[in-house]
Amino acid sequence: MRRPLPPDRVEGLLAHAQGLGSDEARARLSRFGRNEVREAPPHPWRELLRETARDPMPWFLAGTGALYAVLGERTEALTLLASIVPLVGMDAFLHRRTRAATEGLRQRLATRARVMRDGVEQEIASEEVVPGDLVRVSAGETFPADGIVLAGDELQTDESALTGEAFPVRKRPLPSAAQAGPRIDTRHWAFAGTRLLTGSASLRVAATGAESLYGEILRSAEQTSRTRTPLQISVAGLTRTLLVAALVLCVVLAGVRLRQGFGWLDALLSAVTLAVAALPEEFPVVFTLFLGVGVHRLARRRALVRRAVCVENIGRITCVCSDKTGTLTAGELRLAHWLPAHEGGEAALLRAGALASRSETGDPLDAAILAVAGPQVAVERVATFPFTEDRRRETAVLRERNGDLLAATKGSPEVVLALAALTPIEREAWTLRVHELAAGGHKVIACASRRLDGAWAGGEPDRGLRFEGLLACEDPVREGAADALARCREAGIQVIMVTGDHPDTARAVARELGLGGHSPRVVAGEEIDALLASGDPSALARLDVVARALPSQKLALVRALQAAGGIVAVTGDGVNDVPALQAADIGIAMGERGTRGAREVASIVLLDDDFSSIARAIGEGRQLLVNLRLAFRYLMLVHVPFVVSAAWIPLMGHPLPFLPVHIVWLELVIHPSAMLAFQEAAPSGAFPAARRRARAAFFSRGDWALIAGLGALLTVLVVAGFERGLADGAAHARSFALAILVCASGGLTAALSRLRTWAALLVVAATLLATFVLLEIPALAAWVHLTPLRALDWGLALGAAGVAAAPILVGSALARSRDCPRAGAGISSAPSEAP
């Protein structure tokens, strides 16, 4: 791949190895700016306050809490006001995370740099490096800026933080200034934030700060906007609708009561009582609580949630774009196979590879070989002929304990095979083995050796070498990754592996993971642009692997999948993953080997770097959506008869059905039922089923039909019970209406939760028992302006519980009989229902 070279940055400076003068450096610093990836905004928290003020939820909670405070209900007021804290805290944490991501990127850059100024090597702060500077970088140091390599031998760089790939990248000095066209091959580029593993390099700086590759990645991340989750939008919309409806009802009720001649005090009390009953304060409170429970459960599964609202989106995930290196694979080179050329020659092959390796170079390939072969003792290194791009091999001449000289060579198979004493047929056979191993995703090197006589003249031995065999290194697949991918596929989740590796390597890893079966569809980076431009959703649905992918292409893929209606999760650990992690609905970073930039931008950090944790997190997310839908359905079903009867009965000219103290009692029944009865944990086996359309409305048409139909039926029961009780006075009528509502609440809770948890069972039993005690102890009943009920009254109230539960249970039974999880989606309460 080639990268454009800004002509005005290095014009006339590639032909010689002289540094800048101090005056010229100051002029360039003034012209091009400091070597910083991003300048801090002047007022970051003011921007946060503006964003928070646009969210209607905190304002609604504050207004409702103030109303409760005016009515003297301090507990309700404090609860609502306290629920503002986590909502605003989420925004503040997200804001801080974005800033921390920038700091994480900055910390990957070198803090100091050695440059040539006025003919003398000087050490300066990296922020003062300017385009045109000549920088010296030694092994183990980080490049302070992007630039062209002018000089250096045995240069290998670690670009894993930038590209995500584990293999070292070899760099070559630019042969001549005449070859410096408008675009230069990346073999001659060194990039800010990457580390030099071997050799010593001279670098002509071509891009600093925001113009470096690091700066480009950061700009891509900052340009990505985060939208609210579908459930946040649904809850906010539902809350606004119910709030407007409540206000309209209150005004209408107050006006009607005045016309009926009840006076201003009664009209005001009627309106306020209805307002307290109708205001939907439970929805944001339940939403916040359930998210908190989801965060806790994910933490127990080794997934640290950095943005609570993303727990909802986890359950909606339809596609996972996964980084390969460090996510699906271990992210390190390991010697996986050794193929000796001679029978019983494994020891000789490993020894030749180890003798031609050096532990002090920091080369991951040498480290992988020595980790298996072990250090070779009782030998003295006489001469070393290091690896170069021209020779493509490394040779060591060693003196053994008996004084004999031995030459050991390792390097590119085609080079070593050409130097070895092999017949054409043997060479062709070994070449075929090399291609087979390379197609399997391995980095293959060949080893040879030769015993030298006393006439060795000191040159590199390159004739008559004995071929010892092949060594194949790989980045092994993570344990459990294949099983996790299989679970995702079974749950209907598409997994796309995105990597910077060669297509053959990526295809081999995909096969080993079972991704795409025996013939995974692999698209190279240069082809993905055309595929995305076609706008064909079916082409995206068939995609398994994207190889040779650039950060911009990974970002474009995420956006295309989102445009097609998907909820996209992105996993990654490198700085190259930052834009895609930021753009994704769910960004998942690896906690152990992930860069700070990736961790801070991600919504979730996997503490154990285990891809199977993603599968468990999706299961928890889907169960959370099931639980939330059940809780919200319960709230709507119980509020319809509660609110409508509180408005209908006074409009008929009857006394108020509920006084403020009765409203408080009913809220004390509704709140714990919604918050505790539906907290079922995710099953350990298969995921709960997902909806076919990930961004579908939170309530389906079946849900709304159930809410309207059953809500109307329960309303009729409450109104009829109140009118029946009026024969014994208003207090008895209120007792009867209250008992019907509480029993209906218990029936709804039992049917929707199926009493699968102890919390659900205790909530139902406690609310029914507490209401019975309240009504049947005369002193308590009189204290709250109620009277005890007759046995027949309690029988009719318990009948309301059966009426509430029956449609839900019948719908679930019909759905199971048809063996269709989505049949009767509006009434099923099973955990496997569509969330």
* Percent of all residues in the chain with a pLDDT value above 70, rounded to a whole number: 77
- Taking the C-alpha atoms of residue 14 and residue 134, their distance in angstroms, rounded to an integer, is 10
pLDDT of residue 277: 67
Q: Is residue 713 a part of any domain in this protein?
A: yes
User: What per-residue confidence (pLDDT) applies to 431?
Assistant: 92
Pairwise CA distance, residues 157 & 141, whole Å? 10
Domain identity same for 483 and 469 = no
Whether residue 131 is found in the same domain as residue 179: yes
> Does residue 824 sit within a domain?
no
Q: Point out the domain boundary residue: 154, 183, 215.
A: 215
**Is residue 76 domain-shared with residue 161, that is, in the same domain?**
no
pLDDT for position 429: 94
Q: How far is residue 717's CA from residue 638's CA, in Å, rounded to a whole number?
A: 13
* pLDDT of 770: 93
| Same domain (yes/no): 408, 499 | no
Amino acid letter for position 429: A
- Considering the domain architecture, whether residues 176 and 27 belong to the same structural domain is answered as yes
- Once rounded to an integer, what is the mean pLDDT over residues 509-522? 87
| CATH of residue 12 | 2.70.150.10
pLDDT for res 137: 92
Residue 150 placed within a domain: yes
Is residue 589 situated within a structural domain?
yes
**Residues 785-803: pLDDT tens digits?**
899 999 999 999 999 999 9
Cα separation, 292 vs 535, in Å, equals 38
Give pLDDT, residue 40. Answer: 47
Same domain for 762 and 680?
yes
Domain boundary among the residues 88, 107, 126 is at 107
Domain shared by 550 and 653, yes or no: no
Structural domain total, the chain = 5
> Which CATH number fits the domain that encloses residue 318?
3.40.50.1000
Q: How far is CA 573 from CA 329, 341, 442, in A?
A: 12, 39, 22
Phi, psi of 237 (to 5 degrees): -65, -45
Query: 385 - beta bridge partners?
Result: 395
Q: For 91-105, 174-188, 356-370, 768-782, which range has the lowest pLDDT when averaged over its residues?
A: 91-105
In a domain, 284, yes or no: no
Residues 358, 325 share a domain? no
Task: Sort residue 261 into left (φ over 0), alpha (ψ -120 to 50) or beta.
Answer: left
- 421 shares a domain with 504: no
Q: Higher confidence at residue 609 or residue 567?
A: 567
Instruction: Identify the domain containing residue 190 by its residue range.
Output: 2-37+112-215
Which pLDDT belongs to residue 181? Answer: 67
Whether 233 is in a domain gets the answer: no
Residues 33 and 56 in one domain: no
pLDDT of the residue at 747: 94
Q: Are residues 749 and 713 in the same domain?
A: yes
Model pLDDT, residue 287: 77
**Average pLDDT of the residues in 263-275:** 70
Angle at 770 between CA 769 and CA 772, to 5 degrees: 65
Residue at 732 is within a domain: yes
Residue 816 CA: distances (Å) to CA of 809, 810, 821, 827: 11, 10, 7, 12
Mean pLDDT of 289-313: 71
pLDDT at 106 over 90: no
Whether residue 410 is predicted with pLDDT greater than 90 in this model: the reply is yes
CA-CA distance, 257 to 270, in Å (whole number)? 8
DSSP β-ladder status, 379-385 and 393-400: antiparallel
Of 560, 575, 609, the domain-final residue: 609
For 16, the enclosing helix (H) or strand (E) is none
Mark 305-321 as b/e (b = at least 16 C-beta within 10 Å): bbbbbbbbbbbbbbbbb
- Looking only at the bridges linking them, the beta strands covering 334-340 and 466-474 are antiparallel
Same domain, residue pair 663 and 680: yes
Tell me the backbone φ, ψ of residue 623, rounded to 5 degrees.
Answer: -65, -35
**pLDDT on residue 773:** 94
Chain segment 522-546, per-residue pLDDT in tens? 888 778 888 888 777 778 888 899 9
Identify the band that residue 598 occupies on the pLDDT scale cut at 50, 70 and 90: low
Q: Is residue 271 part of a domain?
A: no
